[in-house]
Structure 1
Amino acid sequence: MGLKGFAEGGIASIVAGCSTHPLDLIKVRMQLQGESGPVQTNLRPALAFQTSTTVTAAPPLRVGVIGVGSRLIREEGMRALFSGVSATVLRQTLYSTTRMGLYDILKGKWTDPETKTMPLSKKLGAGFIAGAIGAAVGNPADVAMVRMQADGRLPLDQRRNYKSVLDAITQMIRREGVTSLWRGSSLTINRAMLVTSSQLASYDSVKETILEKRWLEDGLGTHVLASFAAGFVASVASNPVDVIKTRVMNMKVEAGVAPPYKGAVDCALKTVKAEGIMALYKGFVPTVSRQAPFTVVLFVTLEQVRKLFKDFDF
């Protein structure tokens, strides 16, 4: 109990985050597909339509996971798969360490001492609380990570070219004010509450069921199965919020120019109106492809770290 839960959760989260970073990057790129914006006026008529003030590009062709990944490598190189990895490390250090540690504390307090069990409602409640606090702490790194991952898709003259997560945070404060570090924080918090409650509660519940039914022993097989199930549940629950969060965080805000979105609700409405309701599930395949292995690596690593730390008390 105490700091041990934070240390265990933090180590496992950083390992999982770095391991699945390329999949997370591809997910972000897919979620930004379909956003419209001004383009140069020398486009051929077949590719654009004229309005009274601007020329707007026709919606781009949808590209799948393999297409986005291969194009990213072809145009930006293999190193681009780890764009923003420093932000991922900082995000996991702040966000996941906090949420995992708090969930562990609440789980200890709310578990029935006689039956050694915790009702699903309390598991979900612990996840909501831990996720919300963790997201508020980690939002600056989340904004920096989204921007660094999305930078390569912009024209050369529009790229932010952050050198590191600290450079990104410094530039955001200087150019957009300190409040820009918490842009989209309401979405980050909502997403984190959904992910943490569904992910951690699902893992605990599936693991308990497997052990109670004696389908498997408490070992690697049980941890992998419970993790995979938790990752899928978390993906389904969080993807719509994740799409809106990505777009709000990535939008450019310039003095004297109206931002693309007024907020989360406006972004959701514009996205659905322009691209259909299923746009909220853009990037779902890479979300599952990333969330499932992330959750597996997270909990398998967590179980091993717990074994290493079992004789320590801090």
Structure 2
Amino acid sequence: MGMKGFVEGGIAAVVAGCTTHPLDLIKVRMQLQGETVRYAPRAVRGALDAATGVASLPRHPALRTPPRPGPIALVAQILRTEGPAALFSGVSATMLRQTLYSTTRMGLYDVLKKKWSPSGDGAALPVHLQVAAALVAGAVGAAVGNPADMAMVRMQADGQLPLAERRNYRSVIDAIARTVRQEGLRSLWRGSSLTVNRAMIVTASQLVTYDQAKEAILQRRGAGSDGLGTHVAASLTAGLVASAASNPVDVVKTRVMNMKVEPGRPPRYSGATDCALKTVRAEGFMALYKGFIPTLSRQGPFTIVLFVTLEQVRKLLKDF
């Protein structure tokens, strides 16, 4: 019985992940906007400092951030420069990530709800225990899926790098193998603390909000309203809450995971806190909400597809 929740959650997550992958790619590209200008090579910084007498890089007129395209302009830019297939860059990593991460978190959440429920079926579980179950499930799922998550971020970001700096991974397996070969096995869990924190926030806000919203609708309209309309309304609410709660952590996670670490050179960020501070200092607090519209645009459809698919899969597998 316990494995059923993992299978149902895994199927729904893979369907949702593949369906909304282009939206996730746009979100990642927007979250990385502004990095390249701020971190010019030391020689460039020195020359500019000597020429201008100004030590603060963000103030250099020559390095002012150019206008950044919005979601629609970014899609047009990708289509023009990289082609339609680029919108699905890293989709193999998305499939692996959802198979590892979401299968684990959704299955474990289902198991813990049933285990902690007085009735043993997940019903009448207090909200604080639902939140606790979601936090545990999200943390475990993120730890399991971190290598695929990092590969996905790098594959999605590759197209906006200069040609000489692109990694050009052939697949998620190639991305993971080359990362291990060039940066070591531990690099697959770079940013894992951020991934775990984000997953705990997303899982708690998404799954618990969905359960609470669905329960509230059913109480108001009756059990007969347990259909597509209720599932869509509850999942929209869950997607909005999850997007608002997770975006700052997601921005930092994306930047840390995409960071190149070269032998003999210090990394751009020493950790999550350093990344967050540098981002806020150079780009302002609202930089932590970069890509929020794409995040919401992706999280909303993803959550709808996830839960609508999950409810349908549950119906199909109810006799197993």
User: Which TM-score applies when normalising by structure 2?
Assistant: 0.92
The equivalences for 1:28-43 within 5 A come to 28-35=28-35, 36-38=38-40
Answering whether residue 71 of structure 2 is matched by residue 73 of structure 1, we say: no
SS in 1 for 2:33: coil
SS in 1 for 2:118: coil
- What is the Cα deviation at residue 60 of structure 1? 2.9
The equivalences for 1:72-91 within 5 A come to 72-91=78-97
- 2:27 counterpart residue number: 27
SS in 1 for 2:24: helix
- What is the Cα deviation at residue 41 of structure 1? 8.7
Q: Which runs of 5+ in 2 are unaligned?
A: 52-56
- What is the Cα deviation at residue 250 of structure 1? 0.3
Code of the residue aligned with 1:71 in structure 2: it is Q
- What is the Cα deviation at residue 214 of structure 1? 1.1
Distance 2:39 2:178 in 1: 24
Answering whether residue 278 of structure 2 is matched by residue 270 of structure 1, we say: yes
Q: 1:257 aligns with which of 258, 262, 265?
A: 265
SS in 2 for 1:213: helix
Answering whether residue 115 of structure 2 is matched by residue 113 of structure 1, we say: no
Q: Which runs of 5+ in 1 are unaligned?
A: 43-48
- What is the Cα deviation at residue 39 of structure 1? 6.5
Code of the residue aligned with 2:146 in structure 1: it is N
CA contact (8 A) 1:33 1:60 kept: no
SS in 2 for 1:98: helix
- 1:148 counterpart residue number: 155
Q: 2:137 aligns with which of 126, 130, 134?
A: 130
- 2:301 counterpart residue number: 293
Q: 1:213 aligns with which of 208, 220, 225?
A: 220
Distance 1:249 1:218 in 2: 40
Q: 1:305 aligns with which of 299, 310, 313?
A: 313
Deviations 1:224-281 (A, max 9, x none): 0000100000000000000000000001100011111000000000000000000000
Deviates most, 215-224 or 191-200: 215-224
Answering whether residue 99 of structure 2 is matched by residue 101 of structure 1, we say: no
- What is the Cα deviation at residue 51 of structure 1? 2.5
Distance 1:52 1:165 in 2: 44
Code of the residue aligned with 1:10 in structure 2: it is G
- 2:239 counterpart residue number: 231
Distance 2:237 2:10 in 1: 21
Code of the residue aligned with 1:95 in structure 2: it is Y
- What is the Cα deviation at residue 52 of structure 1? 4.5
CA contact (8 A) 1:198 1:233 kept: yes
- What is the Cα deviation at residue 61 of structure 1? 1.7
- What is the Cα deviation at residue 111 of structure 1? 2.3
Quote the sequence identity (%): 67
Q: Which has the higher helix share?
A: 2
Distance 1:227 1:214 in 2: 17
Deviations 1:47-99 (A, max 9, x none): xx812499973223222111111111111000000000000000000000000
CA contact (8 A) 1:26 1:68 kept: yes
- What is the Cα deviation at residue 119 of structure 1? 1.2
Distance 1:244 1:200 in 2: 23
- What is the Cα deviation at residue 165 of structure 1? 0.2
- What is the Cα deviation at residue 38 of structure 1? 2.1
- What is the Cα deviation at residue 309 of structure 1? 0.6
User: Which TM-score applies when normalising by structure 1?
Assistant: 0.94
Distance 1:307 1:217 in 2: 16
Distance 2:284 2:310 in 1: 39
Distance 2:66 2:135 in 1: 37
CA contact (8 A) 1:37 1:57 kept: no
Number of residue pairs matched by the alignment: 307
Deviates most, 29-38 or 262-271: 29-38
Code of the residue aligned with 2:167 in structure 1: it is R
- 1:46 counterpart residue number: none
| Alignment RMSD | 2.1
Distance 1:124 1:60 in 2: 42
Deviations 1:117-139 (A, max 9, x none): 11111111111000000000000
